[in-house]
Amino acid sequence: MTDDPTLETTRGRLSALARLWPFARPYRGLIALTFTGALLATLTQLVIPLVIQAVVDGPIADGDRAGLVPLLALALGFGLAEAALFFLRRWAMNISSLQIERDLRDTLYQRLQRLPIAFHEGWPSGQLLSRATTDVSTIRRFVGFGAVFLVVNLITCAIVGVLLVLTYWPLGVAVLITSIPLTAFGLRWEKRYNAQSRLVQDEQGELATDVEEAVQGIRVVKSLGRSRLVFGRYDRKALRLHDLQLVKVRTLAQIWCLFEFHPQITLAVILVGGSLAVGSGALTVGGLVGFVALFTVLLWPILSLGFLLAQAQEAASACDRIGELLDAPLTVTDSPGVRPQQVGTPARLRFESVGFRFPGAGAAILDGVDLDVAPGETVALVGATGSGKTTMTALVSRLLDVTSGRVTLDGHDVRDLPLTQLRGVVATAFEDATLFSMSVRENLTLGRPDAGDDQVAEALRVAQAEFVHDLPWGLDTRIGEQGLSLSGGQRQRLALARAVLGRPSVLVLDDPLSALDVHTEALVERALRDVLAETTALVVAHRASTVLLADRVALLEGGRITAVGRHTDLLAEVPAYRELLSSESELGGSANLGDLSEVGSR
C-alpha cells in the first residue's frame, strides 16, 4: 500500500507546527522552563557513565575502597538532581500544554461562531467536531510531551556523539557513521506518514458525521425501519478507517523496527571494536565501560525518535486541519470604522436592487429585488419552492451578504451597522426551530439576556407556549439536545416566543407556524397580530393562513419581485399569484380560491 497516489497530495509537513507559535508565545517562559528541566535532567544522566569510568579506572583498579565514597556520593547527588528536574519539567509542561490547548480550542470555537452560514452549509458537522476535539487533543499531547523530548533527545544525541568521539574517536566516528542511514530513512518516512495521518484524521471526521446524523435522526431511522441501511453506511466508513489505520500502523512498525534494530547493531560494533582496542592497549577497560555506558544513554533517545516523529507528524496534520478553519475567510464582518446608528422601533426595511449569488454558482438566486416595507407594516413573501424566499430573509440580519444592491434599515445599509446592533434590532424565527441543551428560560432569552419575567410571559402568551409551566421545573426545565424532548409544534412555539421577546424593530418569520395544528395556529395568529402591529415584519408564507396576517403580499418569481399588493387585489389581478394559491403546493393546501378570497376580504 505504499504506492497510494493520495500520499503525494499531502499538504502539511513538520513546518505546519509553526502555526502553534502564536498560541505558545504567551507561555514561552513555562516552555523554556520545561525544555531546560528536561535537558538538564537528561544531561545529568551523562555524568553517571563518567563516574563509572572513574570508579573502574580508579578505586576498583587500585583497590582503594575509601575512594569509592565520594564518587558514589557524587552519583547519588546527580540522581537526586535528576529527580528534582523531572518534577520541574512535569509541572511546567502540564501547565503550559493545558493552557495552549485551552487557548487553541477557544480560538477555534470563536472562529466557528464568526464564520458565515455559507461556510457551515458546506462543511459536515462531524469534520468540525473532530477538529475541535480530537485534533486539538493531538496537539496538546505533542506540545506537552513530543515536542519537548523530540528537541531534547536530538540535543542529547549530538552531545553524546561528541563525548563518544572525545572518549575514543575511532569508535565514536563509527557510531556517527551508523546513524547516517537512520537519518536518511527518517527523512524519507516523514512525508509518507504525514499523508497517512491526514487520511486517517479526515476519515475520523466523516465517521463522526455519520454518528451525529444517526443520533439526531434516530426517530426517522427507527420509524422507517432503516437501521440496517444506516449501519451499513457507518460500517463501510468504519472499515475504511480501519484499513487506513492499518496502513499507518505498518509504516510506523517499519520505522520502529529500524530504530529498535539500529542501536543493537551499533552496540555490537562497539563491543567488538572496543575489545580489540582494549587488547591492543589503545583503550582502558574503564574507558570501554564508560563508552558503553555513554552509548546506553543514547538508547532511549534513539528508540523514542520513532514514535516522537510519528507524534510530530500527527500534530502537523492536526495543525493543517485546524488551519483550514482558521484560514477560512470571514465574509460577513463589521466594516472598518463602523459604528452604531439610530434605528427606530419599528424600522423601515428596504431591498434596493438586491442580487445574491452563491460563490461558484452559475445563476443568481436573487436578481434586482426591490421591496419597501414601511415601519409597522407586515409583508408576506410568497413564491414557489426554490424561488429565493429564505435567502432573501437571511440578507436582513446578514446571515448572508448581498452580492449586489443593498438592504437598508431606516436608510442605513445593514453592512454599515455593527453586527451586534443589527442582530439586536432584527429577530428571526426559522421554520426549522433550533433549541439548545439548556433551560427553557435560557433558550427564550438567548438573544435578550436582560429580558424580564413580564416580557418572557408576554412572549409565551403570544406564541401560545404556556405549556412550559407544566414541565417538571417550569421555565428552569432543561431541554434535551436539539429539543427532542418536545414535540415539533412545541419547539416551534418556543422559537417564535424567542423571536418576539422584547418586541424587535424588525421581525423576520420564515414560516414559523408550519408544525402547529389548526386550533393552535389560530390562537397564535390572533396573538401575533398585536406583535406585528408594533414592528416591521417580513413573513415567509407557505400557508394561506399566514398570508392573511400580512398587510401586503410580495410575489417572488425567478429571483425577482413580480407583484406587490393586498392579498385580495393580487388574487383578482395576478394570474401567477392565483395559480400559486390554487396549486398543490403547501401554500394552496386544502383551501380553495373562494375561501381565500372570502377570508381575505374580511
Q: What is the DSSP letter of 348?
A: -
For residue 367, the model assigns a pLDDT of 92
Orientation of helix 28-55 relative to helix 285-326, angle to 10° = 170
Q: What is the DSSP letter of 477?
A: P
CA distances from residue 285 to 23, 57, 270, 276, 277 in whole angstroms, order as listed: 51, 7, 13, 11, 9
Position 600 confidence tier, pLDDT thresholds 50, 70, 90:
very low
Position 483 confidence tier, pLDDT thresholds 50, 70, 90:
low
Contacts of 252 (CB under 8 A, 6+ apart): 193, 306, 307, 310
For residue 417, the model assigns a pLDDT of 93
Beta pairing class for 404-409 and 349-356:
antiparallel
Q: Are residues 196 and 47 in the same domain?
A: yes
Q: Are residues 319 and 354 in the same domain?
A: no
Say how far apart CA 166 and CA 278 lie, in whole Å.
16
Contacts of 90 (CB under 8 A, 6+ apart): none
| Rounded mean pLDDT, 270-293 | 83
Identify the H or E element spanning 95: helix 68-114
Q: Are residues 311 and 366 in the same domain?
A: no
- Residues 285-340 pLDDT 10s: 877 877 887 888 787 887 787 778 888 888 988 999 999 999 999 888 898 888 99
CA-based nearest residue to 595, from 582, 583, 584? 582
Position 411 confidence tier, pLDDT thresholds 50, 70, 90:
very high
Q: Share the mean pLDDT of the chain.
A: 83
CATH classification of the domain holding 306: 1.20.1560.10
For residue 476, the model assigns a pLDDT of 92
For residue 62, the model assigns a pLDDT of 61
Contacts of 202 (CB under 8 A, 6+ apart): 127, 321
Residue 477 is assigned to a structural domain of this protein: yes
| Widest pairwise Cα distance in the chain | 120
Q: Which domain holds residue 389?
A: 349-600
Q: Are residues 507 and 407 in the same domain?
A: yes
Position 515 confidence tier, pLDDT thresholds 50, 70, 90:
low
Residue 374 is assigned to a structural domain of this protein: yes
For residue 266, the model assigns a pLDDT of 85
Q: Are residues 461 and 318 in the same domain?
A: no
Is residue 8 predicted with pLDDT exceeding 50?
no
Q: Are residues 259 and 364 in the same domain?
A: no
Position 6 confidence tier, pLDDT thresholds 50, 70, 90:
very low
pTM (two decimals): 0.77
Is residue 1 predicted with pLDDT exceeding 60?
no
Is residue 589 predicted with pLDDT exceeding 60?
no
Which is higher by pLDDT, 69 or 199? 199
- Residues 62-114 pLDDT 10s: 666 666 667 677 777 777 887 888 888 889 989 999 999 999 999 999 999 99
C-alpha grid cell, residue 125: 458537522
Position 482 confidence tier, pLDDT thresholds 50, 70, 90:
low
> What is the number of structural domains in the chain?
2
Position 505 confidence tier, pLDDT thresholds 50, 70, 90:
very high
The answer, yes or no, to whether the previous bond of 346 is cis (omega within 30 of 0) is yes
Q: Are residues 319 and 442 in the same domain?
A: no
CA distances from residue 149 to 152, 155, 176, 299 in whole angstroms, order as listed: 5, 9, 21, 14
Q: Are residues 121 and 250 in the same domain?
A: yes
Which long-range contacts does 138-141 make (Cβ < 8 Å, 24+ apart)? Answer: 138/314, 138/315, 138/318, 139/20, 139/100, 139/101, 139/104, 139/315, 139/318, 139/319, 139/322, 140/97, 140/98, 140/100, 140/101, 140/104, 141/97, 141/311, 141/315
For residue 299, the model assigns a pLDDT of 79
Q: Are residues 296 and 362 in the same domain?
A: no
Neighbours of 230 (CB within 10 A): 18
Residue 4 is assigned to a structural domain of this protein: no
Q: Are residues 290 and 402 in the same domain?
A: no
